[in-house]
Structure 1
Amino acid sequence: MSEGDAVEAVEEPVTPARIASDLRDLGVRGETVIVHSSVSSLGWVPGGAQGVVEALRAAVTPAGTIVMPTHTSHLCTPSVWENPPIPDDWLPTVRESMPAFRPDVTPSRGVGAVPECFRTYPDAVRSTHPQYSFAAWGADADDIVADHELDYGLGENSPLSAVYNRGGLVLILGTDHETNTSLHLAESRADYERDETVEEGSVLVDGEREWVEFADIERTTDDFSDVGAAFEADVGVETGRVGVADANLLDQRALVDYATEWFSQNR
């Protein structure tokens, strides 16, 4: 939805105060919640992404914790880039000059405007994984992003599992299950045949930029909509409207447990 479409979708601005009120009506208040959002789907919000972040902070309150993916897929090995690929003769230069991941300054990529704005707040903290970082704010923020291991960065020793251990919630705000990173934790736990991969990331080691290797599994989101729909039908979610967007609030632990079994049976 373009900004013009967002204006046309509403009769009045969707203010941060209205968003916060809609979130509370949905059930968001004082918990640990991992957020996936599309700012344009909400209607025209004064301040755009910043207005949404302010509303989320007001609804969750400092007693709870907000978590968002701030992934940096562009910091992977240049030779595997596909969207777009780069010429082969560029590869040595790109690899040699790629900046190292720095949690405080490296911009996110492909996760939307709200996480990118959220991570820049001075009281937000961010994990150190060069591709799969998460940012957090609130009571448990430091613990949630601490000790994010390089290997299997969306698995057991990741912020996703820290949210799981705290009985957190997933808020899907104007988007769908294809963006639901908690399903990656489920595929890490599921029992099905899959390839192991070796990935690379550019990081600082003792102040010097280095490429480091880490293990992962071959990941896909191709069936995330299917497992999400099955979960909603079999277990259920809280649904409502935030601004003019459809919003779902669900128990992350129940989702991950359900999806782990579903992937084991259907992949």
Structure 2
Amino acid sequence: MTEAAAIARSSGPVTQARLVVDFQRLGITPGMTLLVHASLSRIGWVCGGAPAVIWSLLQAVGPEGTIVMPAQSSELSDPSGWCDPPVPESWWETIRATMPPYDPRLTPTRGMGQIAETFRTWPGVQRSTHPQVSFTALGPLATDILARQPLEDPFGTASPLAVLADRDAHVLMIGTGWESCTALHLAERLAEPDGPTQEDGTAIMVDGERRWVRFHTLCTRPERFLPAGAALDGHVMLRHGHVGSAPSRLFPLGEAIRQIASVWTSFRP
């Protein structure tokens, strides 16, 4: 969405003070730990842009709260699997040989939106070590949440998502759909701990040297996310509201994941 379109859909400037009120009305309280998915354009015309949204989130949770966001960098993967867009097969080996290695400080996010990318560079923000599906976090629990994220199982029981579930975190979705709800990957892992895998590759630093490494990662089935989310939308645990003009949701991560995992487990062949 262009800035002109954001202005057209807004009844007025969305200020930082209004955002804080909207977060509070949705149910966000001081001390909360939030996994945030956010679309800046869906909020409307925000006075101050992405930094204003981040400041408002930090104000809403206070100094005892922790903000977490996905910081995925999907381009650090094997080019043979690229489809949006694909590249010629004749390029693959050159890409594998020259792709810059993952750097938590410098590697940008891809497809995460302006808020997540701005948060990545925010003073004090930490980032997990996974080269493709990292998380960023700021707050008292940040180090604990980001401490582990195995290369081959980045969303499983030893991942930041599992720590968030254990710490009674909530998921905040601001103008985003269930198809992009990263937390649902943990439900996949709980429902299918021995599910199918696929081969991938990435560039990382190993013992001080840049290396292209191959690994197997668990397959995901994002086509299940929409119906699972639709079921959650009618549950009492989930709170609906608006942040600016953006339809938004707030729900407890652990409880939601347990319910979805239970349903998916019951439908396994």
What pairs up with 1:171-186 in 2 under 5 angstroms? Answer: 171-186=172-187
In structure 1, list runs of 5 or more residues that go unmatched. none
- Return the offset for 1:235: 4.3
Name the residue aligned to 2:85: 84
Residue 160 of structure 1 corresponds to: 161
Moved more, 185-194 or 126-135: 185-194
CA contact (8 A) 2:119 2:125 kept: yes
Deviation at 1:256, TM superposition (A): 0.4
Whether contact under 8 Å (1:192, 1:263) holds in the other structure is: no
Kept in 2, the 8 Å contact 1:238–1:249? The answer is yes
Mapped to 2, the partners of 1:88 and 1:213 lie a distance apart of 18
TM-score normalised by the chain length of structure 1:
0.95
Could you state the TM-score of these two structures normalised by the residue count of structure 2? 0.94
Rounded to whole Å, the distance in 2 between the matches of 1:191 and 1:90 is 35
**Contact kept? 1:144, 1:162, Cα under 8 Å:** yes
Mapped contact 2:71–2:134 kept (Cα < 8 A): yes
- Counterpart residue number, 2:65: 64
* One-letter identity of the residue aligned with 1:120: T
Measure, in 2, the Cα distance between the counterparts of 1:41 and 1:8: 12
CA RMSD for the aligned pairs?
Answer: 1.5
Note the C-alpha offset of 1:194: 4.1
For residues 235 and 66 of structure 2, the distance between their equivalents in structure 1, rounded to whole angstroms, comes to 28
Counterpart in 2 of 1:201? 202
Segments of 4+ in structure 1 off by > 4 A?
none
The CA deviation string for residues 75-130 of structure 1, in whole angstroms up to 9 with x for no partner, is 00112211111112111211111000000010011111111110101210000001
Offset of residue 193 of structure 1? 8.0
| Structure 1 range deviating more: 32-41 or 197-206 | 197-206
1-side partners of 2:135 and 2:193: how far apart?
Answer: 27
- Give matches, 1:32-71, under 5 Å: 32-71=33-72
Equivalent in the alignment of 1:19:
19
Q: Deviations over 1:231-257 (max 9, x none)?
A: 222444111111111111001011100
Aligned residues: 267
Q: Note the C-alpha offset of 1:265.
A: 3.1
Amino acid in structure 2 at the alignment position of 1:208: E
Give the drift of 1:60: 1.4
Structure 2 unaligned spans of 5+: none
1:93-112 to 2 correspondence within 5 Å?
Answer: 93-112=94-113
